[in-house]
Amino acid sequence: MILIVAGGGTGGHIYPGLAVAHELLSRQGKHKVIFVGKAKGLEAKLVAGEKVEFFGLNVRGIKGSGLVMAVWSVMLLVGAIVRSIKMLLVKSPDAVLGVGGYASAPMGLAALVLGIPLAITEQNTKPGLTNRWLGRFAKRIFLAWPESEQLFPNGKWMVTGNPVRHEFFVATKKSSSKLMNILVIGGSQGAKSLNKAMAEAVPLLNSVAEKITLVHQTGAFDIEMIKSLYEKSQFKCEAFAFLTDMPQRIADADLVISRSGAGAVFEICAVGRAAIYVPFPHAAEDHQLNNAEAVTASGGATIINDSNFDGKTVASLVKSFLKPGKRLERMGDRARGLAKPEAAGTIVDELLKMKEAPA
């Protein structure tokens, strides 16, 4: 099978696409995957080194742009559609899988124009504009959450869970330390409000310094500021602009503080860790809040609104989790119950069926 995986922009779109790619390439047969994304986007860096070809498009978002930039974005979109059509004619793929992000739209449209079977994955409880539109024409729609069912045409969707790389399901804690290890992740780009709150929390957490350690992915913008503040802490803490070993980092954590994009949520659930979710308040359709609510309903997480997340809140929550008992373990077990280790395999099975189905 020759499969095109289209999308990107954030790890939440890229990693599910790579999980599907890994699953297909692990199957018997001469399979090939081409990842199509923004030419200078994060996907170009993350796909490098994979056994996956990368094809770049010059695209950008339209929503929220001023008039001039919106016109420019539309022009880029038209050019990206033309380039996508040419690429599909040369590569002759058996199917296109849209995983969300800027590149998903032009490649999805190109597939429809040429009659190439199109499938999409929807990682969030509420779909974005691209997936809502492409979902009308896609042959298959793979949903991460059952809450999304009513938003897509009957007969096309199936709830698979969000595809997560195998490494998350097999990662185990390496450290034997009895200290509570806290992992803070704000997504692939970092999260300014999380960074600010953690900076405020440092002096307040010094009172429990002998009981905690901390690892913080800050994003590139705030890394130096956070590092300088952490140097003043009385507990062991590390700051990184980006983490490439996320499966092991989550496995080594006892508590994760995170945004609640679908990628992060399903990865944390796959490892089985308790979480404090701080949904990004400007996420489309408020999907991050809905994602976090789904895990919280299971007992696997706690939600704090972004506007209420400050240093005092962080310190208070951390101290509450230090009380005797097995609260963290119980939450982790409940989170793990939401994980779908078979998601990537189910999606590949369906894509292979699409290949064999008559036109």
Residues of the chain with pLDDT under 50: none
**CA atoms within 13 A of residue 129's CA, in its CB half-sphere:** 8
CA 343 to mean position of chain CA atoms: 14
Identity (one letter) of the amino acid at 290? N
DSSP notation for 292-310: HHHHHHHTSEEE--GGG-S
| 3-state SS, one letter per residue, for 207-255 | HHHHHEEEEEECCCCCHHHHHHHHCCCCCEEEEECCCCCHHHHHHHCCE
| Domains recognised in the chain with CATH numbers | 2-164+340-356 (3.40.50.2000), 168-336 (3.40.50.2000)
Q: What is the pLDDT of residues 48-84, one digit of tens each?
A: 888 899 999 987 665 555 666 667 677 888 899 999 9
- Look up residue 185 and give its two tokens: 């992740």
**What pTM did the predictor assign?**
0.87
pLDDT on residue 31? 96
Terminal Cα distance for the chain, rounded: 16
pLDDT on residue 328? 96
pLDDT on residue 59? 77
Tracing tokens 């059952």 back to the chain, one arrives at 146
Q: 257 has which bridge partners? A: 184, 276
Identity (one letter) of the amino acid at 268? I
pLDDT on residue 10? 81
**Edge-to-edge strand list for the sheet holding 157-159:** 53-57, 32-38, 2-6, 95-98, 118-122, 140-143, 157-159
d(CA 114, CA 84): 10
23 burial class (0-12, 13-18, 19+ CB within 10 angstroms)?
buried
